[in-house]
């Protein structure tokens, strides 16, 4: 097999996985994911042209978003499911081609004859389809275009993948934006043409960041519209006696449906990983059997799920290869999949029957007794912080709050992430820490205290809630009548996969300077591109916590 993947932070030797993915992805899956992106580019070649003629195809919009999200790290590891998606994508592409040609005929134009991704026909045989995928792997372009051009192309692709995850979650809750879909098609069409101009590639990458801000706004509106604004909430992080289900991933609607279906069944529901913020949403936490959070970040799940005496539901990315000890009580839903793991599909109306998850929970032992009660406080999204903004601003102007730190992002198994724990512990007591995503598990159970009643650690939520953190920063800049780069605010980001990439692009689009990124730089960012980012944005790598802290406070 001919594999190459370097889209995540833990990629082998910091350069790329070539034999087997560190994430658990095998070469067959890698090839099919590359082919799926290739098919998506072909759809967008026609969709982008058809849109210029007034033709909008919603199934094509949704499929391309699904294809991008499916290939995010730790989502779909099942070659059979990927092959079905690829064939469905070819059918969508053919329909899009017909719509484009019909629109050209009505406009009296001659349709373009498109090749490459727009003309690919997936093989009927799975092994042959895998060989097709090998023919469009990244290293083919590295050999012909070089590291910089290929890396920038992949930077755009990974940004689109991350954006697609937010768009997908939002549209599931009925919130969409025509302009976002149009841009995704435009960007994929741009990539299908194999661009090599550094300035054009850089410009498109920053446009991904711009549109991703809108995508995060859509998801914020979808989540808060459906479940209310998160509010400060004390959350139990130790288990209670009884039967149990733990829900991991990112999807709030899946959790809501499971809560409704487990009502009155004597089952306690726990969040895990990035689902922790769900416990602060009024329409979710009103379910009394949503009792708390279990475990920590995604990379510890094999040990944590092994010890969990109930069933497990994975709603989006972050799945790892299940151990045999819990393989019969873990379930996937949505786009996440692992070969041999039972999958809960939605019906035509988007409803899901979680009976198998419930039955597995009832059949398991459950927790035999209550553990010692321990809690943390979450729910400091933009609405909450804005409501006490005057108090925060007064404390800052009075010198009681010296500096703000945003310390957050993805967590991961690779060494070096203790940096974030050490940095958070070193932050002076007259400073406030904003945090988000699963990177917060490195320090969110430590005691930080408060400043005149303002908690020193403010948990803004999931990775997509970077939107909240951005809005808080913009509000502070407005209150202090200064630019965002003039605020006493430092951003220290940890990254793992493609959602972190699109958030970084959004921050770069906003012109935010002097961010620190770690624990290592993306393998797809070559030295020349890195020099460009350092020169234009002052982007830095994380170093020694004490030295970084001193520099930021100065």
pLDDT digits (tens, 9 = 90+) for 6-30: 999 999 999 999 999 999 999 999 9
Q: Which pLDDT value is given to residue 140?
A: 83
Q: Which pLDDT value is given to residue 2?
A: 74
- Strands 450-451 and 454-455 come out as antiparallel
CATH 3.40.50.300 correct for 233-363: no
Residues 138 and 134: their CA atoms lie apart, in Å, by 9
Residues 167 and 65: their CA atoms lie apart, in Å, by 7
The ranges of the chain annotated as CATH 1.20.1270.20 are 12-226
Q: 12-226: which CATH number, 1.10.1040.10, 3.40.50.720, 1.20.1270.20, 3.40.50.300?
A: 1.20.1270.20
Q: Which pLDDT value is given to residue 139?
A: 83
Name the CATH topology of 381-553: Rossmann fold (3.40.50)
Q: Which pLDDT value is given to residue 389?
A: 87
3-state secondary structure 158-213: HHHHHHHHHHHHHHHCCCCCHHHHHHHHHHHHHHHCCCCCHHHHHHHHHHHHHHHH
Question: Is residue 423 a contact partner of residue 400, using CB atoms and an 8 Å limit?
Answer: no
Local structure of residue 221 (DSSP, 8 states): H
Global model pTM greater than 0.75: yes
Q: Which pLDDT value is given to residue 486?
A: 95
The ranges of the chain annotated as CATH 3.40.50.2030 are 233-363, 381-553
Question: Is residue 504 a contact partner of residue 537, using CB atoms and an 8 Å limit?
Answer: no
Q: From residue 243, how far is each of 262, 270, 289 by CA, in Å?
A: 11, 11, 11
Question: Is residue 280 a contact partner of residue 300, using CB atoms and an 8 Å limit?
Answer: no
Question: Is residue 280 a contact partner of residue 221, using CB atoms and an 8 Å limit?
Answer: no
Taking alpha carbons only, the member of 442, 401, 407 closest to residue 515 is 407
Q: Which pLDDT value is given to residue 1?
A: 56
Q: Which pLDDT value is given to residue 234?
A: 98
Taking alpha carbons only, the member of 7, 61, 335 closest to residue 183 is 61
Residues 524 and 149: their CA atoms lie apart, in Å, by 10
Q: Which residues of the chain have pLDDT under 50?
A: none
Neighbours of 245 (CB within 10 A): 29
Residues 195 and 486: their CA atoms lie apart, in Å, by 36
For tokens 């786009």, the residue is 335
């Amino acid at each position: 097999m001919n594999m190459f993947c370097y889209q995540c932070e833990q990629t082998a030797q910091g350069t790329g996985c070539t034999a087997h993915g560190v994430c658990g992805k095998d070469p067959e899956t890698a090839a099919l994911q590359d082919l799926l992106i290739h098919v998506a580019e072909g759809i967008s070649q026609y969709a982008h042209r058809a849109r210029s003629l007034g033709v909008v195809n919603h199934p094509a919009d949704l499929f391309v978003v699904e294809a991008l999200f499916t290939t995010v790290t730790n989502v779909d590891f099942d070659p059979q499911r990927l092959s079905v998606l690829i064939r469905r994508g070819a059918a969508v592409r053919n329909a899009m081609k017909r719509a484009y040609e019909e629109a050209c005929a009505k406009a009296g134009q001659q349709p373009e004859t498109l090749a490459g991704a727009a003309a690919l026909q997936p093989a009927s045989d799975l092994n042959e389809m895998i060989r097709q995928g090998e023919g469009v792997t990244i290293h083919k372009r590295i050999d012909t275009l070089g590291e910089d051009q290929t890396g920038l192309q992949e930077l755009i692709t990974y940004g689109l993948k991350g954006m697609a995850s937010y768009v997908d979650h939002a549209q599931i809750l009925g919130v969409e934006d025509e302009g976002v879909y149009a841009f995704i098609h435009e960007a994929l069409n741009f990539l299908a043409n194999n661009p090599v101009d550094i300035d054009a590639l850089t410009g498109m990458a920053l446009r991904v960041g711009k549109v991703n801000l809108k995508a995060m706004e859509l998801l914020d509106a979808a989540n808060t519209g459906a479940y209310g604004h998160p509010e400060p909430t004390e959350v139990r992080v130790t288990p209670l006696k009884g039967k149990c289900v733990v829900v991991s991933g990112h999807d709030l609607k899946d959790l809501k449906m499971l809560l409704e279906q487990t009502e009155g069944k004597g089952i306690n529901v726990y969040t895990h990983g990035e689902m922790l913020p769900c416990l602060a949403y009024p329409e979710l936490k009103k379910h009394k059997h949503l009792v708390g959070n279990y475990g920590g970040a995604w990379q510890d799940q094999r040990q944590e799920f092994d010890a969990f005496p109930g069933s497990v539901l994975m709603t989006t990315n972050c799945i790892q290869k299940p151990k045999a000890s819990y393989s019969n009580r873990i379930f996937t839903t949505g786009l996440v999949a692992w070969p041999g793991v039972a999958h809960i599909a939605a019906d035509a109306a988007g409803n899901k029957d979680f009976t198998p998850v419930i039955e597995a929970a009832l059949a398991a032992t459950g927790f035999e007794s209550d553990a010692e009660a321990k809690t943390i406080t979450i729910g400091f999204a933009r609405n909450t912080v804005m409501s006490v903004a005057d108090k925060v601003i007064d404390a800052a102007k009075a010198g009681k709050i010296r500096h703000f730190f945003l310390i957050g992002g993805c967590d991961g198994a690779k060494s070096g992430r203790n940096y974030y724990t050490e940095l958070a512990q070193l932050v002076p007591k007259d400073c406030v820490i904003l945090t988000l995503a699963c990177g917060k598990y490195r320090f969110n159970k430590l005691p930080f205290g408060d400043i005149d009643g303002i908690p020193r650690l403010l948990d803004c939520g999931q990775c997509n809630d970077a939107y909240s953190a951005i809005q808080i920063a913009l509000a502070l800049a407005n209150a202090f009548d200064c630019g965002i780069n003039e605020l006493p605010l430092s951003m220290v980001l940890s990254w793992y996969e493609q959602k972190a990439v699109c958030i970084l692009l959004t921050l770069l689009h906003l012109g935010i300077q002097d961010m620190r990124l770690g624990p290592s730089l993306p393998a797809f960012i070559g030295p020349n591109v890195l020099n460009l980012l350092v020169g234009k944005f002052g982007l830095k790598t994380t170093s020694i916590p004490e030295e970084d802290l001193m520099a930021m406070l100065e």
